[in-house]
Amino acid sequence: MGPCAAASVFTPAFVSNPWISMPDRPAVVTRFAPSPTGYLHIGGARTALFNWLFARHYDGKFLLRVEDTDRERSTETAVAAIFEGLDWLGLKADAEPVFQFARADRHHDAVMALVAKSRAYRCYMTAEEADAQREQARAEGRALRSPWRDQATGPDMAQQPFVIRFKGPVDGETVVDDLVQGRVTFHNRDLDDLVLLRTDGAPTYNLAVVVDDHDMGVTHVIRGDDHLNNAARQSLIYEALDFTKPAFAHIPLIHGPDGSKLSKRHGAQAVGDYAELGYLPETLRNYLARLGWSHGDDEIFSDEEAIAWFDIADVNRGASRLDWDKLGHINAHYLKSADAGRVADLVLKALAARGTVLDAPIEARLRQAMPLLQDRGKTVLELVDQMAFVIAQRPLVLDEKAAKTLTDETVARLSRLRDKLRVTDDWTAPALEALLKGFAQKEAVGFGKFGPALRAILTGGLPAPDLGKALAALNRDESLTRIDDKLL
RNA sequence: GGUCCCUUCGUCUAUCGGUUAGGACAUCAGAUUUUCAAUCUGGGGAGAGGGGUUCGACUCCCCUAGGGACUACCA
């Protein structure tokens, strides 16, 4: 099998042929390669983000590959969930996704090439035998080697099941020059003869990644540092295959707030969960980029800035923990400056998710109130609570505390205020604020003498912003009607 | 067990041999005040421990401790 034959197996749009010099080939090609066994989790999202930022920064390509060689565990649902997650995050790949399983023939060919070069061999060990060998190797302080490594297979073995193992060097060391972790050295004796082709002929991960990354023209492999050890074994495969190695960058994993590996008990893991909780994708991009990477004192930045500033060399080596407080703070920032219509859509969606569907007039009121209220929550869900007084059905039922504010004195004062409100022609938050101030002055009292009561009438005791804004958020008719409800 | 990686305020981080070790989130106090927030001002808060190298170490080296990853016919 020659390289040219192999090239025909896979030719993405922008890579004409990796074996031939390509003047138009991008200097940087990254990829995100999830295995479709679940949703896109937050750590994977950050890995994807770093790959995306790096590719954008260098004007390169960001590719997607679905590592579905494990037929047992891979599901269509997971593929869809991962694509959906990436889509929501706004991380668009520059080419159609590659499905690893579809390239099994090419993987098989690569393994055959290694066998032909004596860099791989048939191993007829049973699972039990392999376990025993592993035990022994472990006791001897070395990695697994199969007894079939240097054994010619007789004709009597021809019908027996076998796997194909990589024939790793026993001496010397393998160096991984990692862009994040630095120079990491492994003794080859510690690197086992891993399985390349399973009994059923299916390729394994370590083989498939090498072949695919090579064929896809990947120049920078940016992934979680749980793969750092694999990088050494993959390096050996690259060399055996005569492939040029990509640059490696193993980024630290994300831990939960308590410092342990992120797991279900830490709460939201899937990016979809974050969407449901009311976080914005730009929040996640900003927060995740800032986790393990920094650019001076910059905390909040745009995608453009992140792209301009991002470099893999500035990524930290230690794991970092998720901090929901900070995430909330950043989300509040983006919620404030987001388009009000978009935030209203999200609030409406969250409302619908809990079974609340608004009548058209009330939805319209919510929409017009949004600009006044969108700065009052860290998440869309909090905003839903802040909108409650706007969409409340009248006549409002006052809670105990609110009801107490309605004394004869305040009711009398509020009816004088009502006269003013009825005739004002400027129903905007600043104008209403000014009107209230003028009224307080004229009555020669502080806000305390009528503010709480007006608030009670307007909100029934639900949280709401400053009275001027609350009146504006409710709009003229609703405000005056709510006042009439309680003042008769 | 073995191999490898990591370690600055509670958290995310700046520092790339010489700084009163800076910023952000969180926290505390004060201001504001019509609820809840928000906002403003100010405060407390860190180089895991021990050895070196050096005129000088958070920064370089070694050891210890702690955390993590890998050690599959999973990826």
Q: List the A186 CA – B63 C1' distance (angstroms).
A: 21
Q: Which range (A157-166, A256-265, A336-345) has the least confidence? A: A256-265
Determine whether the distance from the CB of A259 to the nearest atom of strand B is below 7 Å: yes
pTM over 0.80: yes
With CA of A225 and C1' of each nucleotide, the nearest comes out as B69
Q: What is the mean pLDDT of residues A1-8?
A: 36
Q: What is the mean pLDDT of residues A444-449?
A: 89
With CA of A37 and C1' of each nucleotide, the nearest comes out as B75
Determine whether the distance from the CB of A198 to the nearest atom of strand B is below 7 Å: yes
Check residue A24 and give its pLDDT: 58
With CA of A190 and C1' of each nucleotide, the nearest comes out as B3
Q: List the A429 CA – B35 C1' distance (angstroms).
A: 17
Nucleotides of B under 7 A from a protein CB: 1-8, 10-14, 22-26, 33-38, 67-75
Determine whether the distance from the CB of A290 to the nearest atom of strand B is below 7 Å: yes
Check residue A167 and give its pLDDT: 95
Check residue A2 and give its pLDDT: 36
Does residue A180 have a pLDDT over 70? yes
pLDDT band at A1 (very low <50, low <70, confident <90, very high): very low
How far is it, in rounded angstroms, from Cα A289 to Cα A286? 5
Tell me, what's the ipTM?
Answer: 0.94
Does residue A257 have a pLDDT over 90? no
pLDDT band at A11 (very low <50, low <70, confident <90, very high): very low
With CA of A261 and C1' of each nucleotide, the nearest comes out as B68
Number of alpha carbons in the 13 Å side-chain half-sphere of residue A9: 25
pLDDT band at A25 (very low <50, low <70, confident <90, very high): low
Check residue A435 and give its pLDDT: 94
Q: Which residue has the higher pLDDT, A7 or A346?
A: A346
Q: What is the mean pLDDT of residues A71-92?
A: 95
The string of DSSP letters for A79-140 reads HHHHHHHHHHHT---SSPPEEGGGGHHHHHHHHHHHHHTTSEEEE---HHHHHHHHHHHHHT
Query: Which pLDDT tens digit goes with each residue over A295-335?
Result: 999 999 999 999 999 999 999 999 999 999 999 999 999 99
Closest CA to A477 of A361, A374, A337, A328: A361
Check residue A5 and give its pLDDT: 37
Name the residues in A113-172 having a C-beta closer than 7 Å to nucleic acid strand B. 125-127, 130, 134, 138, 141, 143-144, 161, 163
Determine whether the distance from the CB of A227 to the nearest atom of strand B is below 7 Å: yes
With CA of A70 and C1' of each nucleotide, the nearest comes out as B74
Check residue A399 and give its pLDDT: 87
Q: Which range (A55-64, A138-147, A264-273, A333-342) has the least confidence? A: A264-273
How far is it, in rounded angstroms, from Cα A465 to Cα A474? 11
Check residue A13 and give its pLDDT: 36
Check residue A152 and give its pLDDT: 72
Q: Which range (A56-70, A239-253, A392-406) has the least confidence? A: A392-406
Q: What is the mean pLDDT of chain A?
A: 90
**Sign of dihedral through CA atoms A362, A368, A372, A378?**
positive
Query: Which pLDDT tens digit goes with each residue over A393-429?
Result: 988 988 888 888 888 899 999 999 999 999 999 999 9
Check residue A265 and give its pLDDT: 75
Query: Which pLDDT tens digit goes with each residue over A464-475?
Result: 999 999 999 999
Query: Which pLDDT tens digit goes with each residue over A121-177?
Result: 999 999 899 999 999 999 888 899 999 998 876 667 778 899 999 999 999 999 999
Check residue A7 and give its pLDDT: 37
Tell me which residues of A are annotated as active site. 264
Q: List the A47 CA – B17 C1' distance (angstroms).
A: 34
A271-305 b/e (C-beta count within 10 Å ≥ 16 → b)? bbebbbbbbbbbbbbbbbbbbbbebeeeeebeeee
> CA A289 → CA A214, A304, A397, distances in Å?
27, 12, 46
Check residue A269 and give its pLDDT: 84
- Partnered with residue A177 across adjacent β-strands are A183
Name the residues in A436-475 having a C-beta closer than 7 Å to nucleic acid strand B. 436, 446-448, 451-452, 455, 463-468, 470
Does residue A290 have a pLDDT over 50? yes
Amino acid found at A331: N
Name the residues in A333-372 having a C-beta closer than 7 Å to nucleic acid strand B. none
